[in-house]
Amino acid sequence: MKIDIQRDAAHQRTTFVLDGELDVHQAKTLKSTVLEKLEEGVWTYVIEMNSVGYIDSSGLGMLVYLKKEILRSQGRMVIANPTEAVLNVFRLTKLNEFFELG
């Protein structure tokens, strides 16, 4: 999975643009990439999922973990533009109610 990182210091926002499939193999890459970029202060971390056509329970578990880590560092995590395939898995597991979708 390709992850493009866009850091906007003026608005304290970092966007991770994911491209690929989020399974057990790729979840570890996402974890290390996001955790490396966590900053002091009230930052917003956007997980852009417009180009993620597939997610499974390992990917979901990683997103849950990242949201908790970000909250612990006083930040906020937003999942932007999930595809229909990803949204279906969120709904199936009720995680659409847990995540902030944008």
Interface residues toward another protein, by CB under 8 A: 21, 23-25, 54, 56-58, 60-61, 64-65, 85, 88-89, 92-95, 98
Query: Within 10 A of 40 (CB to CB), how many other CB atoms are there?
Result: 8
Q: Based on CB atoms, which residue is closest to another protein, 6 or 50?
A: 50
CB of 95 to another protein, least distance (A): 7
CA–CA distance, 83 with 72 (Å, rounded to integer):
27
Q: Based on CB atoms, which residue is closest to another protein, 23 or 39?
A: 23
Question: Is the Cβ–Cβ distance between 49 and 18 less than 8 Å?
Answer: yes
Three-point CA angle 38, 44, 48, nearest 5° = 95
CB of 60 to another protein, least distance (A): 6
CB of 3 to another protein, least distance (A): 16
Question: Is the Cβ–Cβ distance between 63 and 31 less than 8 Å?
Answer: no
